[in-house]
Structure 1
Amino acid sequence: QPASAANGYDAIKGVDDYMSDPLGVDVHMVPAGITFPSLKDGEDHTRGEGEEDYHTCQILCAANYSWFEIHEEESNEPNASRTGARHAPPHVRRNGQVDYDRIKAAWSARFIEILHWHYPFTKGKVDFINVSTPLTIENYMRPGRGAAVGLDVTPARFVERAELTELDMRHPRILNMWRAGQDYLMCGQVLAAASGVICALRILGPFSSIRFALRSINLLLIAPLFSSPSPSSSTKAKSI
């Protein structure tokens, strides 16, 4: 949280200061989310010989589209020719490419600062960094001005009948049309994927939903009680 004794532990002011000068504010006052995706699989990453050689780290920071807007694609014309698919190389040509690369390099240095501030043991151990901006998100996802989570997560979205009807997985006007994704449940990769499961169960109906729930309970809670340990598990237990 961007709050400290220096600003009276005012997190809101801390965010405002960051948005006013994102590359100049003190590194410990940058509101950032830091996660290590390669550690999320629940496996033992020590291999019995210490840590693995490489891990991935993701750092998320808020950004205004206006900070990068001047560097949109050189041509946004519908019929403009492209030498590759939108979601594949070659690199998208930006207006003022040199300046855009310079800005990304500055953000790269900022992210390294953030990482080293929170995890000092990573100093000297970063081999590669890739910076995505709101322009990157807009290129791949087309959410509208580089929004990271689609529709705004506002209270009205979850309580007002008109919005609930419009954003229901069952389309309010087109018969038999169903929709899934983060805008129909909640933002985030896991919940966006879960919306697909929920949507499928709603299509199948209540009996299929109950059967799905019972099968899940059996697989997660009951079956493990009666299953014998695998040879690899028993071997691993003996080695410990």
Structure 2
Amino acid sequence: MVKKLYQPYKPNLDFSGLDHIVIGSGMGGLTVATWLAKAGKKVAIFERHFVPGGFTHSFRRKDGFQWDVGVHYVGNMAEDSSLRDFFNFLTDGKLEWESMGEVYDVANIDGEEYVFKAGKENFRKQMIVYFPEEEKAIDAYLKLLTKTSKRASAFYFEKVFEPWFSKSVGWIFRKRYSKFSQRTTYEVLSEITQNKRLISVLCAQCGNYGLSPKNSSFGAHAMVIGHFLEGGYYPIGGADKICEKTLEVFTANGGKIYINADVTKIVTENNRVQGIQIDEKFIPCKSVISNIGVNNTFNHLLSEADRNRCDFSLKNVKPASAHICLYLGLNKSSETLNLPKHNFWYYKHENIDEIFDEATLENAPENFAYISFPSAKDPNWEIKNPGTATIQAISVANMEWFEDFKDSNWMKRGNEYLFLKKNFETEMLKVLYKFYPQIEGTIIASEVSTPLSTENFTNYKSGEIYGLAHSPERFTLPFLRPKTKIKGLFLAGQDITLVGVAGAMLSGLLCATAILKMGSWKIFKEIRNQ
């Protein structure tokens, strides 16, 4: 990341005349901030981390290795896709993408391998090869994905309706989507097939939204799985290029971004936003856009009176799952080691719900692993880092496993904590060596992150990476909209829409629309046609 694109926050800097303040520099915040800047608004982003980007950022070590923290692949990125158009708009077409090829995911369940091929028809044919007696069920499943995605598009678009229009018309879109969002993935799939193995294969990518089949909303499942049906893509140069190229455009249009800027309060008066506060420093603006999750926004930055005014309650919705990740650096190239571009999903057996529900720090990697090969996906890696490769291996985690260390500081949590991380590394390496024995003896760098790392940088108290759990209850929350009941306070981020880069980008788009009205689309069309 080019440092001139951002600067450390200092209370004596000039923050006058701001139209909009965005809290948090994840994809949702980057999207709405850049959109507003292109509309001629004076915008500033305040980020608590020492690098911008949220889950789109990467981290580097002195030995030259670099790993992504959240973006492992993106779907719907064909040249003629609307998502590609939006990325081109945000980055002025300077962000390049590499296809992951014909196969983008591979699942291994109880020793049996299942390949996910790009393209709906390719996916269909491959699944029928595995399950020839389930052709009708597979066709019914694909039709459900399409139908659910169409209903979801209307459901999310309704979020920018004004209250009077939402009450008179919006309920129709919400009700039509509820037929899918208010049922679990397992319930829906069990109606089209009784084949347990087929259900587990169709749910093998559930780590992309963080909930097992009996707990997740089918509405979320359909949107995420449908997002990848045409294949996976990876940003050339690494995931942090998403943030870097967007910030280049944002700052070129007058935007400012400040790091080490931990906002402590959203200041309101008479139900209207006045600005933000960082410690004792008050910074005025016309509106505030929070991109740090609804829990952090309402429970940590707003008063109880403001929370009540917005009808905010998370009583029935839990945070999404946490994760624990092993980062590896190797002294041979991806090509030499024959590392794949595709991601690898490993399940010890087909009962995914049992694996997730009964996970412990000791058994998590033994039962479940998601393995990604960023250096193999990125054609620029070998050019910049010849003769090396990177791997990330992730399993499910729970913040409760690390409760004894919650009061410790990052990188200073003590030997007992390091011992737990080393045990996880040892167990995860067993899985890696089983499926990729060629990497043994090539590892020269390793690091483990836990939910405590996620909490440290995002302030997500449960170490969750996907915000609110994508359960049926999530889709009933009335306050998950860009526009709040507090004048001048808006929300962006995956809580407002859906998990992932595309979901967060959609939230930023909706937020920009809520602020600029139809002017946001006018700007997009004008610049797109230039």
Contact map agreement 1:201 1:208 (CA 8 A) in 2: yes
Give the number of the structure whose residues are more often helix, by fraction: 1
Written as runs of structure 1 = structure 2, the 5 A alignment for 1:52-63 is 52-63=386-397
Name the amino acid aligned to 1:72: K
Correspondence for 2:473: 156
- Percent identity between matched residues is 28
Distance 1:55 1:2, change over 3 A: closer
Contact map agreement 1:4 1:10 (CA 8 A) in 2: no
Residue 45 of structure 1 and its aligned partner are, at CA, apart by 5.5
Contact map agreement 1:3 1:11 (CA 8 A) in 2: no
RMSD: 3.2
SS in 2 for 1:178: strand
Of residues 399, 403, 409, the one that matches 1:65 is: 399
SS in 2 for 1:34: strand
Correspondence for 1:80: none
Distance 1:183 1:205, change over 3 A: same
Give the number of the structure whose residues are more often strand, by fraction: 2
Correspondence for 2:369: 32
Contact map agreement 1:69 1:135 (CA 8 A) in 2: no
Name the amino acid aligned to 1:56: T
Contact map agreement 2:512 2:520 (CA 8 A) in 1: no
Of residues 9, 16, 23, the one that matches 2:362 is: 23
Written as runs of structure 1 = structure 2, the 5 A alignment for 1:143-222 is 143-158=460-475, 160=476, 163=477, 165-171=478-484, 173-213=485-525, 215-216=527-528
Contact map agreement 2:467 2:495 (CA 8 A) in 1: yes
Question: How far, CA to CA, are the matches of 1:132 and 1:46 in structure 2?
Answer: 25
Correspondence for 1:124: 441
Correspondence for 1:11: 352
Question: How far, CA to CA, are the matches of 1:25 and 1:175 in structure 2?
Answer: 45
Residue 113 of structure 1 and its aligned partner are, at CA, apart by 2.4
Question: How far, CA to CA, are the matches of 1:197 and 1:73 in structure 2?
Answer: 37
SS in 2 for 1:182: coil
Question: How far, CA to CA, are the matches of 2:474 and 2:506 in structure 1?
Answer: 18
Scaled by the length of structure 2, what TM-score is found?
0.32
Residue 40 of structure 1 and its aligned partner are, at CA, apart by 4.2
SS in 1 for 2:394: strand
Name the amino acid aligned to 2:479: E
Name the amino acid aligned to 2:373: F
Q: Which has the larger radius of gyration?
A: 1
Name the amino acid aligned to 1:54: T
Contact map agreement 1:59 1:111 (CA 8 A) in 2: yes
SS in 2 for 1:186: coil
Instruction: Note the alpha carbon deviations across 1:76-134, whole angstroms, 9 max, x for none.
Output: xxxxxxxxxx8xxxx4543xx22111101111222322332332222222221111111
Correspondence for 1:235: none
Contact map agreement 2:368 2:395 (CA 8 A) in 1: yes
Residue 15 of structure 1 and its aligned partner are, at CA, apart by 3.9
SS in 1 for 2:492: coil
Written as runs of structure 1 = structure 2, the 5 A alignment for 1:68-83 is 68-74=402-408
Question: How far, CA to CA, are the matches of 1:183 and 1:150 in structure 2?
Answer: 6
Distance 1:187 1:212, change over 3 A: same
Stretches of structure 1 that go unaligned for 5 or more consecutive residues are 75-85, 220-240
Distance 1:157 1:25, change over 3 A: closer
Question: How far, CA to CA, are the matches of 2:461 and 2:436 in structure 1?
Answer: 34
Distance 1:122 1:178, change over 3 A: same
Correspondence for 1:77: none
Q: Higher relative contact order by CA 8 Å / sep ≥ 6: 1 or 2?
A: 2
Of residues 455, 459, 475, the one that matches 1:138 is: 455
